[in-house]
Structure 1
Amino acid sequence: MRESRPAPRRALLATALLLALPALPAFAADPPTDDQKTPPSDTRHQSKSEQDHIKDLSGVVVTASALQDTADTLSKPVEVLSGQRLDEARAGTLGDTVASLPGVQSSNFGPGVGRPIIRGMDGPRVAILDGGLASQDVSTVSQDHAPAIEPFLADQIEVLKGPSTLLYGSGAIGGAVNVVDGRIPEYAIDNGFSGRAETRFFAGDQHGNTTMARVDGGSDRFALHADAVYRHAPDYDTPDGRQRNSFVDTRTGAVGGSLLGDWGFVGLSAARYKDEYGNPGEPGDIALGERGVYIKMRQDRYEAKGALRDLWGEGNGLRFSFAHTSYQHTEFEGDQPGTVFRKNANEGRMEATFGSRDGWQGALGTQIAASTFVAIGEEAFVPETSTRAYGLFGVARRSWDGFQLDLGARLDRVKSTPVGGAGRRFHPVSLSAAGAWKLADGWKLTLNLDRAERAPVEEELFSDGPHIATLAYEIGNPNLRKEAANQLELGLQYQSALVDAKLSAYYNRFRDFIYIADTGQTWYWEEGDQDLPVRQWSQADARFRGVEGEAVFHLARSDRGDWDLRVFGDAVRATFVGGGNVPRIPPSRLGAQLRWQHDGWRAALGATRTNRQDKIGEYETPTAGFTFVDAHVSKHFDTGNLSWELFADGTNLTNQVGRVATSFLKDEVVLPGRSVGVGVRVFF
């Protein structure tokens, strides 16, 4: 069994690197002028008008949009984390990083696994994107599989809520999360050299440290990039005691570079992601010297991207990207290797934009993906499967005085073929129409109509065997049909000097919704000497309806500081048309946070109430609600051409017992108790 231990020597070396990086010579930079004394990597030096709103997104470009829109021009619901808000939200998993957004929660299989859940949908319905291309891990196959994404290296994280199948295929029927990391630079580096670094240490019920560094440099004709992260987190504590086998160790890094010019850019990158984490559902037996089950993951990813700008008019051009991914993880049972999961994938994408701001704007694109997935060993409950996917899509927009219309369509072809079995072909079709009306100064009304279809994935079609991570025998259904969703969403936004607010309500009717259901039968697992429940992948019509909202009230502006109050809430209800609840739906939440900032200081105190979940599926059990109180304080200051930030974060300050209702391990795994993190960031 793995026990807590002092941070290893590499953590101290990483901290030394953090302090040494700013001293590196700016070999490609000119001496800073008076208006260049603050580093370009530091987003906090903005004009007062830009600082007025904590959540002002008007200037943030959403790269996951085919037309490269700013957030406020999109009719579709989108959230963007960037700048100081992203810094405060960064966590060890992608799901935990975005979980503070309305309508978004995180899955849980211990601290090593956290995949975003959007409006009650997770797994293969939520696309995880790395720079617009699929992450190509195996996190959809099982709840104990982590996404191969490092949130500490993100420049910004974009969350597209509702069907995003138009741009990203049938795997995005519930939404998409796009991580923008800048590993392939698209523009020249300001001043020729910039970067940032951070280290943080944890105390209280969480332990360990995370350290990252990033450097960008170059000239007007080329740009180079390098980054790295090291994370060491031993088993954490809870109000009920130690959560055994909850350790996480992560190492990741990348290098990239681009050729640049007025014509556009073309670049390459190579990245490696290595992760090792425990399965707290199988902690082993310390008395017998038995180590728990843990996973060792490695992913190598190679990307090429480019853009040719203004080919047929200003703002119109061609963008292309390609990624090759090689993924493997091994599930160790004690010190013995058990099941090995491997995936090799290639994906390519090309988009062409056209039109003008005074008329129709649009984009046409194509996407091609090919992957092979194989599981070897005792828990190989899914056979080796090859999947091929082809997609063709188009979007168009036209704006008039006070009104904007967005239209889109996509055709896909998906084929999944298991070794030794018959393959299945699917032809999903997706259509979308959206409108936005400016009702008055500061007011905007949006209406979205979506028809989206999803092809079943490997585990839904072909699984047949014991899935020990979830302690169940899972049976696929090779006769599954396409899943279809018809969604209607109405949104209202208001922005003024005193308040930023938005409210959305949606209704989603699924035909042939795919889910895994308990059959009430059991299968005897000889090695574990226990009966496992038999779960069958099934289909039924279902309804999802929900509401979510957020408001930031600018309470005061004075010489003693600025005060803001943020409130948010979300709720989703999912039922089958024939009766009964859809299983594993997240509970409703309400939250509030009071913020203050003045002269480089920032402080915040907030609480989030996660309500009891008793609207449960068959054979599920209710999950108690809980309230987490969190706090943040930081001091930002400049020394020469460096910017520094000292910070401290407190989580679960009242030491509440919290369990994640959507987790298969909710009865065994409790969220961490009272914890404090302290650290330093530097921008150069």
Structure 2
Amino acid sequence: MNVQRTLLASAILSALSALNHANAQVAAAASAAADPVVPKVIVTANPFGKSEGDQILAPAKILSGDELRDKLGSSLGETLSQELGVSASGFGAGASRPIIRGLEGSRVKMLENGMAVADVSGLSNDHAVSADGAVARQIEILRGPAALLYGSGAIGGLVNVVNERIPTALEAKPAGQFETRYGTVDRGRSASGALDGAVGHIGLHIDGNIRRADDYKIPDNRVLGDPSSASGRLPQSFTRQDTVGAGASVIGDWGHAGVSVATLNNRYGIPSLEGSQIDQSQIRYDADSLFKMPFAGVENIRIKFGYTDYDHAELDDDNHPEVLFKNRALETRAELTHAPLAGWHGTLGMQTENTHFSALSAEGGPDTVPVTHSTSRAAFLVEEREFGPVRVNAGARLESVKRKPLGHQDRKFDLGSYSVGALWPFMPGYATGATVSVAQRAPATEELYSGGPHDATQTFDIGNADFKKETSRNIELSLQKVSGLVRWKANVFQNKVKDFIYGNISGAMMDEEGNPGEELLQRIYQQADASIRGAEAEVTYNQHGAGLSLRAFADTSRGKLDHGGNLPLQPASRIGADVGYRSGAVRTGMSVVRAQSQDRLASFEQNATPGYTQLNANVSYTQHIGSVDLTWFMIARNLLNEDIRLSTSVLKEVSPLPGRNFLFGVRTKF
């Protein structure tokens, strides 16, 4: 492994050296003109509205524009799966959640426009994220415990899907984007779009997405290492999804105030050997107001409300419900950004969450999770100041979480988290940074109170109401080149987690009633100290400009239990490269990712995951017809038709990723 990492580092440094040599004359003649090639896209989840390259407390990545449309998949996990430090849970086409630096579930918070999505995707990999990437303007990734400003569930980071459903600016004339596409591997048909306009001082927005996809083709046999297993199409890998959202706001020089509503209906298959389906529905209401310069010394005050009514049913082969999941959640958030005070510029705020969650048997058996009322009250503060050339950022969060289950023991957790980071531009165009953080997380409801069957994962889950809170101590070092046509960054991190909670498959078999049987694997939530460490590197050339563009990246992480053994479902080490070309109306690109075999298994995992090479390509042509841009595109995925198994997937042995897929589509923007 050390030899492989040395070779990897040498390859990246050689590529960087070659690119710098090739670009030396261009940089010398026009270094000042090189920077404007890269547009500044603002991270909305950052309290100071910093751009992607200006983050201190949490490294950021933003997907937007053509890059987002090229990478858009059937799930949020698939869309983000080739980003630095990000992998996917891979639970079929309908449900794949992002995994950040080997941490998943409730440790990675899902946001929509800066507010929690309030679904139950953090409970299990078979539950889809309710935020829809097809109508997103941009998707933001913040890695590391510093993202705890948005809640204790963000101990591993967060993903923020930004659709701007509540307008914040008035459009001079109607503006929008519409797209339709067809995929060969699953006969997938989709149509999505968004439209913005204004009537006087009222901004208006509407968006929607329709997707229909059949079971997808697989390259080889279904079961890993079993040539006698089925091939062709993967059963129960279909998806049927509809989303629609609308919003309006009053906008003026003083700020804005608006509301929105959105609905989701989603039915998809679970490609386990037993097979099942999930029927998911959600309605969401949001309110957002921003007041600029309300008093002397205050730059703005922002107040947000969000209410979510979520349901899904897990269905058996005969479409009969087995478990009914419900979540009713109300979230409030208030932020005040003050003007610089003694050199410090900062944001302080308060956040509350109030949820009623349950996973009840529809057949009269044991409930998977009892009805539980949870409340959270938090206060947070982030401050930033420059000390000469060094910019320092410090944040803290105090939070109290209460869980009150019906018929079980109440629990209360007092949490304290903080982060301190610094960025030093030690020479023009280069910077180094360090972050130290301590983050605490309350055990999730299912980790405390599970006590019933979960048929989609074929497990009988058993929680522990006596669990302690998790405490993560993280240190991260970074080095980056932030200007010029050639840019690069490298991060190394170590995360020590005290009382880490994980699901352990004991090997015992149980029936639906919790008695010894042959239907379900017993999964017992356990707690032990753990460590996660890793490294990431990326080098780019002319990433957003015309002409040739190049990118190379590598990431690796490893999670271990301190008393011995590996954490389950850890990502494979990867190396990848992209090449693109833009000229006038034509844009083309190709990417390749090589993932190593993953044999660092938890005690109950049986088989190593083979390595794979994934080759993708895209080409598009844009016509300008008056004020309308019409883009015709083709995207090819898994061109080598490889049998790809994700080490992070519970179904890796029975559910490969789709085979070779060609996507054809047209997009219009005005």
Provide TM-score, normalisation by structure 2. Answer: 0.90
- Residue 433 (structure 2) aligned to one of 431, 442, 446: 446
| Correspondent of 1:366 among 316, 334, 350 | 350
CA–CA distance in structure 2, aligned partners of residues 556 and 376 of structure 1: 50
**1:652, 1:471 → 2: CA distance?**
29
- Residue 307 of structure 1: CA displacement? 0.2
Partner of 2:456: 469
For structure 1, which segment, 585-594 or 528-537, has the greater mean C-alpha deviation from structure 2 after superposition?
528-537
8 Å CA contact retained: 1:556, 1:563: no
Residue identity matched to 1:625: G
Seq. identity, %: 37
How far off its partner does 1:103 sit? 0.1
Aligned to 1:60: 41
1:595-634: CA deviation from partner (whole Å, max 9, x where unpaired): 1111121111121111111011102121111111100000
Matched, 1:354 2:338: yes
Residue by residue, what CA displacement relative to the aligned partner does 1:311-355 show, whole Å, maximum 9, x if unpaired? 235871100110110001111212322221111110000000012
Q: CA deviation at 1:421?
A: 1.3
Is structure 2 residue 584 aligned with structure 1 residue 599?
yes
Task: Say which is worse superposed, 524-533 or 251-260, in terms of deviation.
Answer: 524-533
Per the alignment, in what secondary structure is the counterpart of residue 466 of structure 2? coil
Q: C-alpha distance in 2, partners of 1:521/1:271? A: 43
Of residues 632, 652, 657, the one that matches 1:646 is 632
Amino acid paired to 2:82 = S
Superposition pairs for residues 37-76 of structure 1, below 5 Å? 56=38, 59-75=40-56, 76=58
Q: CA deviation at 1:358?
A: 8.8
Contiguous gaps of at least 5 residues in structure 2:
1-29, 221-231
Q: Please, which of 568, 590, 593 is the counterpart of residue 608 of structure 1? A: 593
Matches of 1:213 and 1:583, distance apart in 2: 39
Q: Does 1:341 align with 2:341?
A: no
Opposite residue 467 of structure 2, the aligned amino acid is L
Structure 2: distance between partners of 1:320 and 1:541: 38
1:135-166 superposed Cα distances (whole Å, 9 cap, x missing partner): 00011122211111110111111101001454
Alignment match of 2:526 (pick from 538, 542, 552): 538
Equivalent of residue 675 in structure 1, options 654, 661, 668: 661
The 5 Å alignment of 1:100-111 reads: 100-111=82-93
Q: TM-score, normalised by structure 1?
A: 0.88
Q: 1:632 to 1:171 in 2, by over 3 A?
A: same
Is it true that 1:520 corresponds to 2:501 in the alignment? no
Match for residue 295 of structure 2? 312
One-letter amino acid matched to 1:342? K
Change (3 A) 1:184 1:49: farther
What residue number does 2:10 align with?
Answer: none
Residue 583 (structure 1) shift:
1.2
Match of 2:603 among 618, 627, 637: 618
- Matching residue of 2:24: none
Counterpart of 1:94 in structure 2 is 76
Deviations 1:2-31 (A, max 9, x none): xxxxxxxxxxxxxxxxxxxxxxxxxxxxxx
User: Displacement of 1:113 after TM fit?
Assistant: 0.3
Q: Structure 1 residues 238 and 52 mapped into 2: Cα distance closer, same or farther (>3 Å)?
A: farther
Q: Conserved in 2, the CA contact under 8 Å of 1:220 and 1:261?
A: no
Distance in 2 (alpha carbons) for counterparts of 1:207 and 1:528? 42
The CA distance in 2 between the partners of 1:196 and 1:51, in whole Å, is: 31
Secondary structure of the residue that 1:460 maps to in structure 2?
helix
| Paired residue secondary structure (1:237) | coil
Alignment partners' CA distance in 2, 1:272 and 1:348: 20
Match of 1:430 among 407, 413, 417: 417
Structure 2 residue matching 1:356: 3-state secondary structure: strand
- The answer (yes or no) to whether the contact 2:148–2:155 under 8 Å persists in 1 is no
Deviation at 1:60, TM superposition (A): 1.5
Q: Is the 8 A contact 1:192 1:219 kept in 2?
A: no
1:573 paired with 2:558, answer yes
Tell me what 1:157 maps to.
139
| Aligned match of 2:15 | none
Structure 1 segments (4+ residues) deviating >3 Å:
48-57, 312-315, 524-529, 554-557
Q: Which residue of 2 aligns with 1:585?
A: 570
Greater Cα offset, 646-655 or 518-527:
518-527
Take 1:666 and 1:565, find their aligned partners in 2: how far apart are those partners? 31
Listed as ranges, the gaps of 5+ residues in structure 1 are 1-47, 284-291
Find 1:562's aligned residue among 547, 551, 554: 547
Q: Distance in 1 between matches of 2:139 and 2:348?
A: 24
Figure out how many residues of one structure are paired with residues of the other and give that number. 623
AA partner of residue 432 (structure 1): S
Alignment partners' CA distance in 2, 1:220 and 1:139: 40
Q: Does residue 81 in structure 1 map to residue 66 in structure 2?
A: no
Once the two structures are TM-superposed, the CA of residue 533 in structure 1 deviates from its matched residue by 2.6
Matched, 1:263 2:254: yes
Moved more, 533-542 or 269-278: 533-542
SS of corresponding position for 2:110: strand
Query: How many Å apart are 1:483 and its aligned residue?
Result: 0.2
Closer/same/farther in 2, CA of residues 525 and 166 from structure 1, 3 Å limit: closer
Residues 166 and 393 of structure 1 are in contact (CA less than 8 Å); yes or no, is this contact kept in structure 2?
Answer: no
**Which residue matches 1:299?**
282
User: Within 1, Cα distance between the matches of 2:618 and 2:321?
Assistant: 42
* In structure 2, distance between residues paired with 1:226 and 1:217: 9
Q: Which residue of structure 1 lines up, in the alignment, with residue 311 of structure 2?
A: 328
What is the distance in 2 between the residues matched to 1:163 and 1:656? 35
Inter-CA distance 436–275: structure 2 relative to 1 (3 Å threshold): same
What is the CA-CA distance between 1:219 and the residue it aligns to?
4.6
1:278 maps to amino acid: G
Other-structure match for 1:132:
114
- Once the two structures are TM-superposed, the CA of residue 518 in structure 1 deviates from its matched residue by 2.2
Partner of 1:458: 445
Moved more, 539-548 or 82-91: 82-91
Give, in angstroms, the shift of residue 519 of structure 1: 2.3
Deviations 1:116-137 (A, max 9, x none): 1000001000000011110000
Measured after TM superposition, the shift of residue 535 of structure 1 is: 1.8
Instruction: After superposition, give the CA deviation of every residue in 1:215-273 in whole Å (9 maximum; x if it has no partner).
Output: 11005611001111000010000112210111001000011000010000000001001
Change beyond 3 A, Cα 1:86–1:347: same
Aligned to 1:550: 538
Q: 1:626 to 1:63 in 2, by over 3 A?
A: same
* Map of 2:11 onto structure 1: none
How far did residue 556 of structure 1 move? 13
1:156 is matched by which residue type in structure 2?
A: Q
Counterpart of 2:240 (choices 224, 232, 249) is 249
